[in-house]
Amino acid sequence: MALKLLAFAAPLLLALPAQAQAPLAAQGCLGCHGPNGAGQAPVPALTGRPAAETEALMKAFRANERPATIMGRIARGYTDAEIAAVAAHFAAQR
Amino acid sequence: MTLLTRRAALAAASVLAAPAALRAQPAAARLLVIGGGFGGASAARFARVTYPDIQVTLVEPLTRFVTCPYGNLLLGGFKQIGDITHSYDGLRARGVTVVHDWAEAIDAPGKRVRLRGGQTLPYDKLILSPGIAIRWGALEGYDEAASQRMPHAWVPGDGSQTLLLRRQLEAMPDGGTVGFAIPDNPFRCPPGPYERISMVAAYLKRHKPRSKILALDAKQAFSKQGLFQDGWKALYGEMIEWVPGNRDGKVVRVDPREMVLESEFGVKHKVDVANVIPPQSAAAIVTGNGLAEANGWARVNTQTFASVTAPDIHIVGDANNGAPMPKSGYIANSTAKQAVASAIAALRGQAAPEAVYFNTCYSHVGEDYGISIVGVFRPGPNNSFVEVPNSGGVSPRGDLPQQRALEARYADAWYAAITRDMFA
Ligand SMILES: Cc1cc2nc3c(=O)[nH]c(=O)nc-3n(C[C@H](O)[C@H](O)[C@H](O)COP(=O)(O)OP(=O)(O)OC[C@H]3O[C@@H](n4cnc5c(N)ncnc54)[C@H](O)[C@@H]3O)c2cc1C
């Protein structure tokens, strides 16, 4: 949350470094996990989850090592680099 | 979040409430968005959240947006019109200038758009997401007047088409036949007709159990077919008859006075209620301004969504030639963000960002019975879109009540989340 709100304040305060923007791969999550990834019950929140945890979860979904309703089908569409960027992005959100 | 951040955010929010202050800055780039639906509202909101220094104007004739998604649940009796109607106040609060008017003509070299009300709006980059137009007359006898007797309910407008279809179902006697005419690909929302059949069946089962559904289809196969047909059998028994194109399912002519759907081989199906989902093209603002190909849809760069003929005009949502991506709300939302990011990058002299497009379409077969199709897509060779191999696909088949119940609730969460990602 803080990052997004800071982005709002940016024109008044300082120019926002480009890397603070959400990677576009993470934008795909918001249609179910809610704005900012904050969760939309019963779909869980992604924000604030440690990056290593999200990354491990996504890779387990991708490898079919964790039971899934739809996340397995989704995770198999993304690269390691995208999963890492998305995980880091949501870990930095509050 | 720290108190300081909160204060800064509040200060910023109060400035946003006065867009005139932003407009006064001469250097701000102007993003103009036409169409306030799944693609357009998503684009406007994403632009304001991600690029606070960009001026965003949204042109949309309707003051309230009624979604197509979940309109089928209204037909089933599970939702009311208020549940699927959204206001533009949230976008205004984010600093989007919302103009309720029709865009009539685009002057691409001059970079400006003339509105029906007479106003002309200049832009640096234009995002077009006007959705579809119905090809009146493509089915013989199906014109605008006919749609008052045989609603399409495929373009939301003010919701009156969906409400008309609902009233017709309510007025139909038990034992009646509800007919569907379903078009060939490509059309808006590939699983939409079959979710609608399911929701009408749910209503009939509860209130008019002796009634029948006759689904006449121009196609031989459809999205999530196995899953839908399993669900139909499990929930509605023999109520639904689906007739594929190779068994004379294609409707070529309709008679709204006699309530007849006529097939290619001249079979006249008389029905009590008819939902005609007619052939479609991109909306008039696209086809009327030379932005569509002969097939009626706009060809775009598959990484930036810039029109191949007008590089400052990005065309997203159902209006473009997005195959094999479906014409869905989720794809409109996902691709709108890439289009905005690409447009802003171009204004800043930067390369367009790496692209990945995401879709999940849930369908309700019953109130507590949901199924889905997932697709992850990327730009491919020769300006194509390609689905990532070995990803996506449909829900597993079989007797899986827990999976179906979960997917029905995830569908509800999708609806809430994506409409917030558009309008909040
Ligand atoms: C019954 C049904 C169920 C569906 N269910 C789902 C679902 O569950 N999930 C899903 O992802 N998708 C679903 N869809 C598909 C989804 O509705 C569309 O794919 C989506 O609306 C496309 O977005 P869009 O921005 O292209 O068009 P729209 O959302 O239709 O928005 C276009 C807007 O542009 C405006 N406009 C048009 N011309 C002009 C002009 N000249 N000037 C200004 N404004 C203009 C219109 O008034 C409209 O508000 C469903 C569709 C139907 C019909």
Check residue B7 and give its pLDDT: 40
Is residue B422 a contact partner of residue B67, using CB atoms and an 8 Å limit?
no
Q: Could you write out the DSSP letters of every residue in A5-39?
A: HHHHHHHHH-PPPGGGSPPHHHHTTHHHH-GGG--
Is A9 in Cβ contact with B356 (below 8 Å)?
Answer: no
Beta-carbon contacts of residue B279 (< 8 Å; ≥ 6 apart):
B134, B135, B138, B139, B183, B184, B187
Is residue B268 domain-shared with residue B302, that is, in the same domain? no
Q: Give yes or no for residue A14 having a pLDDT over 50.
A: no
Q: Give yes or no for residue A7 having a pLDDT over 80.
A: no
**Cα B55 to Cα B30, B33, B37, distances in angstroms:** 5, 11, 19
Is residue B150 domain-shared with residue B249, that is, in the same domain? yes
Is residue B223 domain-shared with residue B257, that is, in the same domain? yes
Among B280, B302, B336, which residue terminates a domain?
B280
**CA B360 from centroid of its chain's CA atoms:** 13
pTM: predicted TM-score of the whole model, two decimal places:
0.92
Asked if residue B391 is part of any domain, the answer here is: no
Asked if residue B129 is part of any domain, the answer here is: yes
Topology (CATH) of A2-92: Cytochrome Bc1 Complex; Chain D, domain 2 (1.10.760)
User: Would strands B55-59 and B97-99 be described as parallel, antiparallel, or unpaired?
Assistant: parallel
Among candidates B9, B410, B420 on the partner chain, residue whose Cβ is nearest the Cβ of A34: B420
Q: Give yes or no for residue A17 having a pLDDT over 70.
A: no
CA of B40 to the centre of ligand 1 (A): 9
Beta-carbon contacts of residue B186 (< 8 Å; ≥ 6 apart):
B297, B323, B327
CA distance A81 to chain B (A): 12
- In chain B, how many domains are there? 2
Is residue B344 domain-shared with residue B293, that is, in the same domain? yes
Check residue A13 and give its pLDDT: 30
CATH of the domain at B235: 3.50.50.60
CA of B81 to the centre of ligand 1 (A): 16
Rounded to 10°, the helix B38-50/B329-347 angle is: 40
Asked if residue B124 is part of any domain, the answer here is: yes
CA distance B222 to chain A (A): 20
Is residue B179 domain-shared with residue B250, that is, in the same domain? yes
Among candidates A4, A22, A28 on the partner chain, residue whose Cβ is nearest the Cβ of B358: A28
The CA-CA-CA angle for residues B199, B202, B204, to 5°, reads 110
CA distance A56 to chain B (A): 18
Beta-carbon contacts of residue B173 (< 8 Å; ≥ 6 apart):
B208, B272
Asked if residue B82 is part of any domain, the answer here is: no
CA of B154 to the centre of ligand 1 (A): 9
Give B173: exposed, middle or buried? Use CB within 10 Å, 0-12, 13-18, 19+: exposed
Asked if residue B408 is part of any domain, the answer here is: no
Among candidates A9, A70, A75 on the partner chain, residue whose Cβ is nearest the Cβ of B11: A9
Asked if residue B379 is part of any domain, the answer here is: no
Is residue A48 a contact partner of residue A36, using CB atoms and an 8 Å limit?
no
Count the Cβ atoms, other than its own, within 10 Å of residue A78. 23
Instruction: Tell me the backbone φ, ψ of residue B343, rounded to 5 degrees.
Output: -65, -45
As given in the structure block, the two tokens for residue B190 are 């590939």
Asked if residue B175 is part of any domain, the answer here is: yes
CA of B37 to the centre of ligand 1 (A): 5
- Indicate which of A5, A21, A36, A93 best probes the interface with B, i.e. most B CBs within 10 Å of its own CB: A5
* ipTM > 0.95 for the complex: no
Is residue B218 domain-shared with residue B257, that is, in the same domain? yes
Which residue range(s) make up the domain with B264? 146-280
Q: Give yes or no for residue A15 having a pLDDT over 60.
A: no
> pLDDT tens digits for chain B (424 residues)?
333 344 444 444 443 444 444 444 446 899 999 999 999 999 999 999 999 999 999 999 999 999 999 999 999 999 999 999 999 999 999 999 999 999 999 999 999 999 999 999 999 999 999 999 999 999 999 999 999 999 999 998 999 999 999 999 999 999 999 999 999 999 999 999 999 999 999 999 999 999 999 999 999 999 999 999 999 999 999 999 999 999 999 999 999 999 999 999 999 999 999 999 999 999 999 999 999 999 999 999 999 999 999 999 999 999 999 999 999 999 999 999 999 999 999 999 999 999 999 999 999 999 999 999 999 999 999 999 999 999 999 999 999 999 999 999 999 999 999 999 999 9
Is residue B175 domain-shared with residue B261, that is, in the same domain? yes
- CA nearest A2 in B: which residue? B1
Check residue A6 and give its pLDDT: 39
Confirm or reject: Cβ of B38 under 6 Å from ligand 1.
yes
Is residue B41 domain-shared with residue B107, that is, in the same domain? yes
Asked if residue B219 is part of any domain, the answer here is: yes
